[in-house]
Amino acid sequence: MGAMRGHIHLAGVGGVGMSALAQALLWGHERVTGSDRLYDREAGLPIWAALEAAGVELVPQDGAAVDGRTAGVVYSTAIEEDNADLVAARRWGVPLRHRAEVLAELTRGRRLLAVAGTAGKTTTTGMLGWALEQLGADPTVVNGGALVDWTAPDRLGNARRGHPDGLWVIETDESDRSLLHFRPAWSILTNISQDHFELAEVEALFRRYAAGVGEGLVCGEGVGAVLGEMSARVVEVGVDPVAVGGGHEVAWRGERLTVPQPGAHNALNAAMAAELCAQLGYEPAEVARVLARFGGIQRRLERVDGGGPVRVFDDYGHNPAKLAAAWSALAVGGGRVLGVWRPHGYGPLRAMLEPLAEALAGACRPQDRLWLLPVYDAGGTADRSIFSADLARLVRERGVAVELVETHELVAEQMLAEARAGDTVLVMGARDPHLPAFAREMAVRTQARFARE
């Protein structure tokens, strides 16, 4: 598909990986269309305007955009077999290709740097792409999240077109095993923990992936032992983050590597991105200098308030490790955390129920408060026999103050009544497109409330 110059259609173009791929496909195809069932329901979301500004033609998800002249239809794991676009592709004999397979084709013949891992890969990919851009490498970047510094009303910020013969930097996905499509020259493997599968299965999957790395792999401390013998060089990064201001710093290669984003995990991510840059020949002092200016990733502990008495953060956290990391990062300093989480799917909630309860109970301190919204229902044929109430019961049994709330507005009302100066509001969850707007609304409403007092 990478060699074709005709019409490419993406089913589910609003997904974080699909929207980045759509932009990358625009660089080599005459026409790129995209559909999404969320677009059919809510055409006014900001993502659609940015995609259209980039050149993607948005259409209803009814199969009408696919015909005998279509060169290929791209889908993600979230797309079901009876999707109208897929049905139309089969009827017309149009090739169907998975998102990761298409991205792998685009990177073929390029010097590929891939980022993998259970947690932290989007931020680490952004840090690596940002650093290489600032260092003059002019990389092409395809990421699962938008860099704040690359975002504008007409740019999503999760894809960057670099030099045609330059480096490619991408995020890979283990949730659907699609990372196995890639054979990078170098890779970062941030960490290995349970997420979409049992731990033993996750470890085996990453071992298979790592076996395909050509030159070297930079990883977190202890990951090398899980991977075992490899033909590629393994470079483990062991650093000890220290809180500095609102962020953290680590001692790395004789430099003080500082990142402004909160959380020790972000300093670890930065150290791995920095180490890969050093392995590619860049001077550590220059690498540290540019990473100190990294503006962060949207919805990765993104601070959205204007500096009022209550801090407000928006985060994509959706698995146990990410929820615990986000909460713990904002608890530094002792202020209360008022957090709300929305489970992003019935299947993930069922698969991770006990680990989620453990993570939330371990992160929430006695003074903190937790709200749970209903499971986000994206439609389709999911088994809807598990609920946020099941998680709330397990968390409550572990001594955490948790409230089940049906709507964003009810959460807002309860949080506003509870909040006091020095608190931090943390909005967490994936898929629900209203969460970013809700976080920003909380920033406005908390500031307005304290302005009146």
Which tens digits make up the pLDDT trace of 355-410?
999 999 999 999 999 999 999 987 777 889 999 999 999 999 999 989 999 999 99
DSSP 376: P
Quick check: 286 pLDDT over 80? yes
Quick check: 422 pLDDT over 50? yes
Beta bridge partners of 390: none
Average pLDDT (427-444) is 93
Quick check: 72 pLDDT over 80? yes
Rounded to the nearest 10 degrees, how much is the dihedral formed by the CA atoms of 343, 248, 309, 331?
50
SS3 283: coil
Quick check: 25 pLDDT over 70? yes
Residue 191 to residue 214: CA distance in whole angstroms: 19
Phi and psi at residue 4, to the nearest 5°: -75, 155
Q: Which amino acid is at 364?
A: C
Helix axes of 284-291 and 264-279: crossing angle, nearest 10 degrees: 140
Quick check: 1 pLDDT over 50? no
What pLDDT digit, counting tens, does each position of 225-257 carry?
A: 889 888 899 999 989 999 887 788 999 999 999
SS3 187: strand
Neighbours of 417 (CB within 10 A): 8
Residue 23 to residue 27: CA distance in whole angstroms: 7
SS3 164: coil
- Residue whose structure tokens are 């074709």: 4
What pLDDT digit, counting tens, does each position of 104-129 carry?
A: 999 999 999 999 998 889 999 999 99
Compute the Cα dihedral for 77, 82, 88, 92 and give only its sign.
Answer: positive
Mean pLDDT over each residue of the chain, to the nearest integer: 92
DSSP 358: H
Comparing 289 with 194, which gets the higher pLDDT? 289
What pLDDT digit, counting tens, does each position of 300-322 carry?
A: 999 999 888 999 999 999 889 88
Residue 286 to residue 254: CA distance in whole angstroms: 12
Residue 155 to residue 20: CA distance in whole angstroms: 10
pLDDT at 423: 96
DSSP element (H, E) containing 445? helix 435-452
The answer to whether residues 237 and 271 touch, using CB atoms and an 8 Å cutoff, is: yes
pLDDT at 5: 67
Comparing 173 with 65, which gets the higher pLDDT? 65
Q: Which of 16-25, 97-106, 152-161 has the lowest mean pLDDT?
A: 152-161
Q: Which domains, ranges and CATH numbers included, belong to the chain?
A: 7-102 (3.40.50.720), 109-291 (3.40.1190.10), 302-452 (3.90.190.20)
- Residue whose structure tokens are 């439609």: 379
The answer to whether residues 128 and 198 touch, using CB atoms and an 8 Å cutoff, is: no
pLDDT at 453: 66
pLDDT at 30: 80
Q: Which of 37-41, 142-146, 243-247, 401-405 has the lowest mean pLDDT?
A: 243-247
pLDDT at 204: 87
Residue 261 to residue 117: CA distance in whole angstroms: 20
Average pLDDT (26-38) is 91
SS3 396: helix
pLDDT at 2: 45
DSSP 43: T
Residue 246 to residue 226: CA distance in whole angstroms: 33
pLDDT at 381: 76
Q: Which amino acid is at 191?
A: N
Q: Which amino acid is at 230?
A: M
What pLDDT digit, counting tens, does each position of 215-229 carry?
A: 999 999 889 888 988
pLDDT at 155: 85
Residue 114 to residue 128: CA distance in whole angstroms: 10
pLDDT category of residue 294 using cuts at 50, 70 and 90: very high
Quick check: 3 pLDDT over 60? no
pLDDT category of residue 267 using cuts at 50, 70 and 90: very high
The answer to whether residues 54 and 31 touch, using CB atoms and an 8 Å cutoff, is: no
pLDDT at 201: 81
Average pLDDT (173-191) is 89
Strands (E), 103-193: 111-116, 140-142, 159-160, 167-171, 186-189
Q: In whole angstroms, how far apart are CA 118 and each of 164, 241, 358? A: 30, 20, 17
Helices (H), 212-312: 223-227, 264-279, 284-291
